[in-house]
């Protein structure tokens, strides 16, 4: 099972990335734990300055832009 985190303070881009992750796992029946991290102190632990950030299994895959559904699906394969 994949571990997915979306890091961001709750801006529209962060929400879009989170929603795209949910849609991607639904459309392709992917088993994943999805966590939205909005706490600034928690985000600082990952040493990222630009959001949103998409992390899969502890690795930063996309940062600073909205991850598209098709991209997310490819990253989860």
CATH number for the domain spanning 55: value is 3.40.30.10
Its pTM stands at 0.93
| C-alpha span between 69 and 75 (Å, rounded) | 10
- Binned at pLDDT 50, 70 and 90, residue 49 comes out as confident
Point out the residues that are catalytic.
Answer: 11, 14
Q: Is the pLDDT of residue 20 over 90?
A: yes
Query: Which range marks the domain in which residue 71 is found?
Result: 2-76
Residue % of the chain over a pLDDT of 90:
95
How many domains is the chain partitioned into structurally? Answer: 1
Exposure string of 59-74, with b = 16+ CB inside 10 Å and e = fewer, is: eebbbeebbebebbbe
């Amino acid at each position: 099972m994949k571990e997915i985190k979306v890091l961001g303070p709750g801006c529209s881009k962060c929400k879009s990335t989170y929603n795209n992750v949910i849609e991607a796992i639904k459309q392709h029946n992917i088993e994943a734990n999805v966590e939205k991290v909005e706490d600034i102190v928690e985000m600082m632990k990952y040493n990222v300055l630009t959001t949103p950030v998409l992390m899969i299994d502890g690795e930063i895959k996309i940062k600073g832009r909205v991850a598209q559904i098709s991209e997310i699906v490819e990253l989860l394969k």
